Structure 1
């Protein structure tokens, strides 16, 4: 983690151009209180290694992403403001001649945040300032809204999901590889590619799905009783889920003879990808479907301050706007 040593590239903008920064603005506030709002120790857990070259101090990056969110800018636009706008330089503690950093550093910083134990720490710090300054005192109105955020992974079909889930069980569960070698015959699960069938042949696709589901159920049924770690238990649960969500007994089957077909229709709360187990199909309208999440926002309309945010799966009454 980079440390602030008090040196700037060129004259300190806040010290030399203070009268140009609007009094009471968020720029002036960050210039004065950035150190207290975002102290270095607040981000220490995000940089566990002491090796490598010094990075950009996280206080600067936290101030930058706060202003970025406030103004709705892209990473490239944010860096341009840091290079050219005196208000941004003062708010983030940059010198007059500072060229800031590459835009990709903002993406790395957000990734560190999202993978940390406290991914909302910047929002929480700003919220504490809002509470301490009383800017929302007496303002009881809130505007509520939600929007769909697309997931970053490709939606997987039934075949891809079952194969990926079987591979995960083979990889994570002790002894599963030996069981799979005997019980799983529909596909070579060491082959990274898709099964070699005539994909334009409807009957061939149906036979493949039937065989893959059979492999999944036999693998699950022959796993020994044992205490599983978190990864192994999750792999077993995922296989059980994907093996059942898209299939139903064959047309002339009583459900006990091990013959399956693709379900006519889409299962409620269907898992769309084994890579991201929380993304879901979301219908904004009857004709428009997206795969991802719902972002819910609460905003104080007069000041336009966000007072609450949350991200939820896109289906289910528990994730509805009213709730």
Structure 2
């Protein structure tokens, strides 16, 4: 449900794994283009899509008899989309969230939004997360991902359905950890981009990634996650990929800010889209304050994105924090 770059990539993965797949697109012209050209030129130009994928704008047709439903819309639009779809969901379908964020108004994770809006047992909801840059997976470069679900059988069902020669899925029962890691890494990637935009090098990047992981872990554990999750694919793996890759929208957005650009200029540089971390930095920072968790990098990114702070004084403020043991 969603034909952006990641939704389309996963549709390809499911099809390559031997499944019949329906890809729901909001725009009729995009669905028609996918059906006729076997390509999503808007988001994945040059990637041939399998014949097993049927594109449609009819949500009811897409959802009828579906065994697995993948929600591939931006986190801040998840609620309004679910309001339109919840009456159409098959009664025992496994619901999969691939959106990485924390809802702005409620500070809920995406699995919580899904369970609340649909009224399903939270055990029916699983989360797919990891170092999953869409373009690389669409090109069938070897990668791994995590399928996190409280119901291990449902997690294994999704694991089998996305297992291909180029994507290796692992299961995990720590839904909270997978979602916290996936949401927070976007904020740290913005900080890494800002550093790169200022011309800072690999020592700085390594420092931001490592200390970023530390604060993500603190928040996750405070919310009930398992600490070891953050040393795995949904934690460190996703963080490294998003913080270092030129394919990462969050990093690219941060680079433009580091170069002195405004939020609007950074948006133009990333094809008119605001990076997820810009929006999530506000809700994650508020969540950290509510749970009395120290997250200085997140706080700094929030200050740049929402309080008008310039990047240079933000870096000085981080470096000037009181000294303490690691």
Fold shared per TM-score above 0.5: no
TM-score by length of 2: 0.21
Q: Give the structure with the larger helix fraction.
A: 2
Normalising by structure 1, we get a TM-score of 0.21
Larger RCO of the pair (alpha carbons < 8 Å, separation 6+): 1
Specify the structure having the higher radius of gyration (Cα).
Answer: 1
